[in-house]
A and B are shown apart, each in its own frame.
Chain A
């Protein structure tokens, strides 16, 4: 009975929802270190998908393959119905404006002010918003969604870890991406700041109507943001389901995540 309902649910999502991102049989090795051994994933429009995995399990490698920072050994990656691995540089850069990427360490440009940081992605892609010459409005709008308008003229060195993460988020928002990839959005932050960032992520999803892929090993973060989860173990998508389903699992390797 329970199973039948689950299948029905899955079928419904399959039929009604657009696939924003699809990974099939992704493999990647560094020498003898086989990091990904056939990873599969589908991200539907508007959902929050959480990927959990131990440190060093290849989460960052996987997400870097998704934006063309690393080249997988084999497998296919489709983003909004375009085959990522077959694109040329210009097409790739074009597609990248549709994808926001929040780096594990924020990766703010430390020689530039917050304003310049936010303006930087715009320098090549203003055509996305018509030919605007005044970027101030876009910058302020993005800063407003993360609640840091007052920091506009500060340097990254003057910001706290949590503020950096927010500015980095604002920088990915400025191109109005359809998909946002979060690499450990709460790592290195205290619990309270983590909560704020998580809250922010949920607001952003509502406000910008994005689909998000969230990588984390923070169980609290997964519980709050996830609509669906995938566990990455031994380089494959080991288990899939909602947070509650996985938490109730009897499998030893799955249980280990929720201790």
Chain B
């Protein structure tokens, strides 16, 4: 019985999220546009996650290289290192892990921020002053997350590759030029473009879920905590679903 109620609540939530998405799309293309607030949010979101993404990327690069190296050495295939590492980072590990840290930082931040604005009636106050709060708060944040995540992922990937190069250099004395030559020789557009497109969807999902949870936050301070928390959980889950679909679609279009 309890399980049934939970399943029902889950589908209701999906329905509400769909409705929320529709409203987002409708308001996205209707005037007036909140350019100034959008820029502010982009700066804020990017700035807030910059350090986190940098550190995460660097560690991904170090760890993957350190762990893959012994296996390749066994086969005497260390020279494959750059291409192997770069493909796995660019295609999958970079986008997914960076998006997950981004979700932890941004979805929870947006959820808590909008949640507390809802609870203290600030969103209602915007509404009654005749300034569409959905446009001002939601559209700008979702758009900012969608635009910033791909940039952050590209940055994180680059730092990860640099980290990988540092390890390679210390172990096998590979020069910077040689390393990145190998990297770019092994990467194709079929690796880079689908991976970048999917990060736009990741960013969109993270922004959307964060706003959704915050905007419909339940009254009370407990509600704010819950909104922040479930924003992270829900958006992380959604990331994997999107990732699966993306890999599936990429497989059809690029791997024949």
Contacts and interface: CB of A to CB of B under 8 A. Distances in A.
Nearest to A181: B128
Contacts of A125: 130-131
A92 B127 CA distance: 10
B124 interface: yes
Interface size class of B (residues with CB under 8 A): 10 to 19
Interface in A40-79: 64, 67-69
A111 B113 CA distance: 10
Interface residues of A, number: 27
Contact of A123 (B125, B127, B128, B131): B131
A107 B122 contact: yes
A175 B125 CA distance: 13
A108 interface: yes
B132 A105 contact: no
A64 B121 CA distance: 11
A29 to B, nearest CB: 18
A248 B87 CA distance: 85
Interface in A82-124: 89, 92-94, 96-97, 99, 101, 103-105, 107-111, 120-121, 123-124
A110 B122 CA distance: 8
A176 B38 CA distance: 29
Contacts of A105: 120-121
B129 interface: yes
B124 A96 contact: no
Q: Most B CB atoms within 10 A — which of A67, A92, A99, A123?
A: A123
Interface in B162-177: none
Contacts of B124: 64, 69, 103, 107
B205 to A, nearest CB: 25
The 8 nearest A-B residue pairs measured at CB: A93-B130, A121-B129, A96-B130, A107-B125, A107-B121, A101-B128, A67-B128, A124-B131
27 contacts: A64-B124, A67-B128, A69-B127, A69-B128, A92-B130, A93-B130, A93-B132, A96-B129, A97-B130, A101-B128, A103-B121, A103-B124, A104-B121, A107-B121, A107-B125, A109-B117, A109-B122, A110-B122, A111-B113, A120-B126, A120-B131, A121-B129, A121-B130, A121-B131, A123-B131, A124-B131, A124-B132
Interface of A: 64, 67-69, 89, 92-94, 96-97, 99, 101, 103-105, 107-111, 120-121, 123-125, 171, 175
Interface of B: 32, 113, 117, 120-122, 124-132
